[in-house]
Amino acid sequence: MKAFKQINGLVCPLDRANVDTDAIIPKQFLKSIKRTGFGPYLFDEWRYADHGEPGMDCSHRPLRQEFVLNLPRYKGAQILLTRDNFGCGSSREHAPWAIEDYGFQVIIAPSFADIFFNNCYKNGILPIVLPAAMVDRLFAECAANEGYRLSVDLESQKITFPSGESLGFDIQPHRKHCLLNGLDEIGLTLQHADEIKVFESRHKAVQPWLFA
């Protein structure tokens, strides 16, 4: 997993509440577990005017021109701004895979579905919960200013506006440590690889019949 420390990123406003994981990445794309290649299918049914299937060349598919990801002003955005209960629905980890593969590194919302929220941390995405009034302000400023960018610094836990104003955000210390160091659950376990090898050797010596 890639480490996350700080970014200065273009903001893309998805002004919808209760966005479920089937909207983020539809069920037909769940056949692969490679974690990569899902970005072109992010928000597939909202983004394209035809029905998407795995392996399709999205560069030639008809676009829904009004959908926010298809607007030129938001091309290359790294920060997704959205509304309440983002990531609800099924627990599919493909949803954060698609978001990360598209290029989003930060998601800002008033609230997230619990499983999706946890899956973000496991895949190097920083989900930030802000008060609804502040999210309203960000939507207004983003709409009024093309090229609207925010700086997000995980170490200091601060979001900096174009004006220079800063705003703090909360994150659990363990999750912060993992993101800063690029550690998912496997990475955390491998930090104890030497101790695991010692335990396995001792276990094999004491109970060799288990390894026959």
- In a domain, residue 58? The reply is yes
- In a domain, residue 204? The reply is no
- In a domain, residue 111? The reply is yes
Q: How far is Cα 181 from Cα 4, in angstroms, rounded to an integer?
A: 7
- In a domain, residue 26? The reply is yes
- If one compares 190 and 139, the residue with the highest pLDDT of the two is 139
The SS3 call for residue 50 is coil
CATH of the domain at 134: 3.20.19.10
Mean of pLDDT over the chain:
92
- In a domain, residue 196? The reply is no
Identify the pLDDT of residue 21: 97
pLDDT in tens, 82-136: 999 999 998 899 999 999 999 999 999 999 999 999 999 999 999 999 999 999 9
Total structural domains in the chain?
A: 1
Q: Reply yes or no on whether the pLDDT at 43 is more than 80.
A: yes
Mean local confidence (pLDDT), 31-36? 87
Query: Residue 81 is part of which domain span?
Result: 6-181
Identify the pLDDT of residue 29: 95
Q: Reply yes or no on whether the pLDDT at 196 is more than 80.
A: no
State the Cα angle at 64 between 52 and 130, rounded to 5°: 95
